[in-house]
Copies of this chain bind each other. A is one copy, B any other.
């Protein structure tokens, strides 16, 4: 009966029969429905907007805030984000995103699900309703991503997915890749059907698709795409009834190309949204979050009302939650920003459920203390004790002609190249001069103790080893190094820390960022995580690594679904052919 009683008091307050909890007086309300700016007041009860009226109530509100004629803009929505990329827990993330005006995150918790499965995911989201922003779930559709080519901690089958889709917090089936459509995978098509059956949508990931592949993808029931790089891609998706999430993340930066095209062609923006997908907290702090997308789009010439709609109403309508979010109107959650301008959003004050959550760029809401359970905090289990000799690649003869993964700095794809290495005492010798080093992927869920082996070009280490437990999407431990003992020490130290990024040299840990939550996230605040991340990067660079973000490179080279090659615990993966391939060229 709780919601009934709440609703009654909201109605009474709207009738002016009982006091509002809060009246925000004198705002310029951005009405995303009629695309008008309205001078009015916002009345709030139980965290919901209940009145939008220029008439002041007779009943004295419990609190009154002067809106100072600022623009009241609906709270911004990130339409698609992998929250794990921030390396922060949801409470710690609040300090980064809420002061920038983001009040709702539609998260696809793919990484957590791969590590900890259904129970872990349910544990992860158990405290989200106490956060000073809203988390809604795009139920991860591919856990594991590449069945048969990797060992994961968790898996979400059709029944698990249905159970998750039934949650109030679930808004969609999470991004599904075209391969599942191309191969007519029963499991994944059943998941789409399950989402639609519940009146929920299915998110796409239509990377590079055109022509009949795109037609089939849309026909399969995928309702959007966040992988558009060109305006032509965007237009092709809109024409097939797919929503397009214009993405601006840390490495994938698509906004300028897409919005420039939209502005140039006068494209209708009704089916366009904004997302970050993957954006590091340092970038969010430096340039902004969804507010950055909105402001950049306006700079590129998009009408501010259209840009704001892309971050609010459009997303809410697309996800069938417009009756709850995406506007400032009676019945909706009282999530909004006060900004001195709409040509450039500045979230001077951010309200979440009618409470002031951030002001002047700082979080003022109190953060919940979430005690994550053991199944999230102890996810790294080595199957058996390791030896230095686990970190060698064995071969016969004096030399080996082998497949090598060639990193492309700043990209998640890589090249497949070949190299000849010396073999000594039956093991392949790292070629420091030509930067061809051994890399290992150690199964870390205590299931089988698999170790996958590969050779990689691009990390540039002259000595020591670097290792991480973030390795998409299986998140086993990956390690690259010159010295077998250092590599063993690195993996053991990571297991001891329950995950993270670290650098080992001379048999000792030089720097570490611990990520004990699923081996993916820290429980520290953003300042601590950023500092430790800088330290561990610097330590890697001091070993000779030329990359700006060596641990991101490490985390993506493990992907069995991004070409050309990937390394899982089962071995080297030829991505385009979906199969494990041997290291030696026969």
Give A residues with C-beta under 8 Å from B: 3-4, 7-8, 10-16, 31, 33-35, 38, 43, 45, 48-53, 55, 168, 181-182, 184, 186, 189-190, 192-193, 196-201, 211-213, 215-216, 218-221, 223, 235, 238-241, 267-268, 270-271, 317, 320-324, 327, 329-332
Contacts and interface: CB of A to CB of B under 8 A. Distances in A.
Contacts of A3: 193
A220 B34 contact: no
A267 B34 contact: yes
Contacts of A193: 3-4, 7
- Nearest 8 A-B pairs (CB), nearest first? A241-B329, A218-B330, A14-B216, A14-B219, A219-B330, A50-B219, A320-B320, A14-B215
A330 B199 contact: no
Given A181-B11, A239-B31, A215 B38 contact: no
Nearest to A269: B34
B218 A15 contact: no
Contact of A55 (B11, B192, B211): B211
Contacts of A199: 198-200, 320-321
Q: Which of A33, A219, A240: most chain B Cβ within 10 A?
A: A219
A34 B50 CA distance: 34
B33 A216 contact: no
Given A8-B189, A189-B8, A330-B241, A219 B34 contact: no
Given A45-B219, A48-B219, A51-B215, 10 more contacts: A7-B220, A11-B189, A12-B184, A14-B215, A14-B220, A31-B239, A33-B241, A199-B320, A218-B329, A317-B322
A331 B241 contact: yes
A7 B201 contact: no
Contact of A184 (B11, B34, B322): B11
Contacts of A219: 10-11, 13-14, 45, 48-51, 330-331
Task: Tell me the dominant secondary structure on chain A's binding face.
Answer: mixed
Contacts of A7: 189, 192-193, 220-221
A184 to B, nearest CB: 5
Contacts of A15: 182, 212-213, 215-216
Contact of A14 (B55, B212, B241): B212
Contacts of A270: 33, 270
A52 B331 contact: no
Contacts of A16: 212
A215 B33 contact: no
Contacts of A215: 14-15, 43, 50-53, 330
Nearest to A13: B219
A45 B216 CA distance: 12
A491 to B, nearest CB: 43
A343 to B, nearest CB: 20
18 contacts: A8-B189, A11-B181, A11-B184, A11-B189, A11-B219, A15-B215, A34-B235, A34-B271, A50-B219, A53-B215, A168-B197, A199-B199, A199-B200, A201-B323, A218-B329, A218-B331, A220-B331, A241-B327
